[in-house]
Structure 1
């Protein structure tokens, strides 16, 4: 099992909407590196759900329920991909970007180093720290 971080602006698609929808297609990714990360995701992989722009915090956990396939919302002729994710649980305490940057075990996280990417890998050690900082057990 691998872990990933997926970003969404809470004004566009908050974690609470994923919870109420029970599942969603993770579409609209238009960066080749992020697309390649989507294509590496496997069914059952964990996704940290990050609220970008407003809040700037990991707020929930989702799981990949369907592996990558062609993005039906793409009409520009490029080869884009989507996955489907379902909620697992909300973090008991959001883990802010400020806390992530300040934590010695997280300061090198892809979220910090590659901040423009909407889909990034998360190491097993980083996942453990985020869950501990978020006071949440899987």
Structure 2
């Protein structure tokens, strides 16, 4: 199972992990996050997410070892992976259909979040660093040559148009 691990980059960033090569993932206090850490297995994949500053998924790591003999302080060793080709912003994650029912947004303060395979693949391979809705608007504009009209404008135009009454020649 893959995981998303949140880290405050001013405390320990993905660049720090790349520099160190390996690290112990610690400082976790939330009981649910601790359970998730204890359940990790050697060889499982992780995505490192910069929280607080940057708010984006930035790189990968692999679980090297897990010592869960101390249930309140499991020792998880991570090996640095690669930087994502394109960071995935919080806005992108919020709009991605694959994250609609994610624990990431139901329990936002969790620092260790299990991912399903589709979410992990999306984090690795989604293309643009813009929200999907912005990409759709840009595609619509380029295909028609015009900026797409927001749905609210169409509704407002219909409401402000004068209504015709059933009697010919009279307006309501």
What is the alpha-carbon root mean square deviation over aligned residues? Answer: 1.6
| Structure 2 match to 1:3 | 2
Higher relative contact order (CA 8 A, sep 6+): 1
1:94 equivalent in alignment to 2:87:
yes
- Tell me if the contact between 1:60 and 1:89 (Cα under 8 Å) persists in the aligned partners: yes
Higher fraction of helix: 2
Instruction: Indicate the residue corresponding to 1:75 in structure 2.
Output: none
The structure where strand makes up a greater share of residues is 1
Instruction: Give unmatched runs, 5+ long, in structure 2.
Output: 129-172
The whole-number CA distance in structure 1 between the counterparts of 2:98 and 2:23 is 31
Deviation of 1:83 (Å): 0.3
TM-score, normalised by the number of residues in structure 2: 0.70
Q: Which residue of 1 aligns with 2:14?
A: 15
5+ residue gaps, structure 1, are 72-77
SS at match of 2:18: helix
With normalisation by structure 1, the TM-score equals 0.87
Count of residues in correspondence between the two structures: 128
Measured against aligned partners, the alpha-carbon deviations of 1:2-51 in whole angstroms (never above 9, x if no partner) come to 10111100100000000000000001110110000001100000011000
Corresponding position: 1:65 with 2:58: no
Partner in structure 2 of residue 47 of structure 1: 46
Which residue of 1 is the match for residue 141 of structure 2? none
Indicate whether 1:36 and 2:31 are aligned: no
